[in-house]
Amino acid sequence: MNVDDFPWMEEHHRMIREAVRGFAAGEVAPRAVALDASCEFPLDLFGKMAELGFLGIPIPEELGGAGMDTLAYVIAVEELARVDGSLALGLAAHTSLGTYPIYAFGTEEQRRRWVPRLASGKGIAAFALTEPDAGSDAQGTRTTAVQDGDGWLVNGTKFYCTNGTHASTIVFTAVTGTAPGGKKEISAFVVEKGTPGLKYGAKEVKLGMRSSDTRVLHFEDMRLPAGNLLGGPESRGAGFKKFMLTLDGGRISVGAISVGLAQGALDRAVPYSRQREAFGQAIGDLGGISARLADMAVDVHAARLMVYDAALRKDRGLPFAKQASMAKLFASEAGMRATDSAIQVLGGYGFTREYEVERMYRDAKLCEIGEGTSEIQRLVIARSLSKEFGS
């Protein structure tokens, strides 16, 4: 049995792991350093992932996907992040944030219209929620969609849209009125690239995930047909709930990215610790270094189990929101610990680009912020506990 196997893994989980691992080693790893330095979005690698069927792993075959499950998908994300966090982030945003809400919440016509193209990789999907005054508090949304004839007139700005200008299809939220009780009525929409009024800001220059394309989107008198309201007319005002459910799944993805980055750091730290000598022995035999390596291994294993557990719960139709938040929280913080330790093990080399752990460290930081900060995850978990204990 492969060292990475778990007793409950099925054959298709092992197959997707080996397929993505081979692709990552052969196609992605040789370019990861250069892509990080140039901040270049690797559109050609997305094309190759489409050919291999990686862009629609959890989507049914009849809608252009591979017909696998969430666990297979997070294994793929993990394997990509092991060598390049940016590409893993692009796949995650495309699948769990951009394509999934159309598949899960769209009308039958909307699913047939957009999902096959995205799942087969003929297009790339994106998700736009964050705004200048609406990050952790999505109720702060100010983008508006006003009914105009038989369609909608949209105005507003979205920040930090992953896959940015390369996305052919973007799912976003907008205020469509006032809900009972005075809260904003938030609805979800789909917009296609090339729609008049959809404009892009400059590409963000970031600490990490540098080859991932992150953009500001501007909606300036952007007109959308009535059929672009996600879920149809009866779903008006349900956008906030839909996006919270989408984020629950997205948090599993971020956990998988974190596991991959932590594993990648461990992959580099252990061999180095066996080759580098100090005081007449391999530094991996020194107490301080061996303890760091042991802690890294424990973090990786525990984080992987938490992420896989959340994925399995989602696949089996069980409640998974709390487990997704727990997995995202623990894995992202474990990723930061592991990448930091890898730099420490490698010493001066770890601080240079040659050994890549500094890139993994920079990439890992986003995982503590994106899809809800660590502070928000703790709030979600605490509220879940209050409900469970009847407070």
Catalytic annotation, residues: 371
Q: Which residues of 25-54 are buried (b: 16+ CB within 10 A; e: fewer)?
A: eebbeebbeebbeebebbeebbeebbebbb
CA-wise closest residue to 229 among 152, 142, 138: 152
Contact predicate 284/273, CB 8 Å: yes
How far apart are the C-alpha atoms of 125 and 161, rounded to whole Å?
A: 10
* Structure-block tokens of residue 170: 């973007």
Contact predicate 237/186, CB 8 Å: yes
Sign of the torsion formed by the C-alpha atoms of 62, 67, 73 and 79: negative
- Please report which residue ranges of 97-153 form alpha helices under DSSP H: 100-105, 108-119
How far apart are the C-alpha atoms of 371 and 126, rounded to whole Å?
A: 14
How do beta strands 281-282 and 169-178 pair? unpaired
Q: Is 320 helix (H, G, I), strand (E, B) or coil?
A: coil
CA angle at 245 for the pair 240 and 251, rounded to the nearest 5°: 120
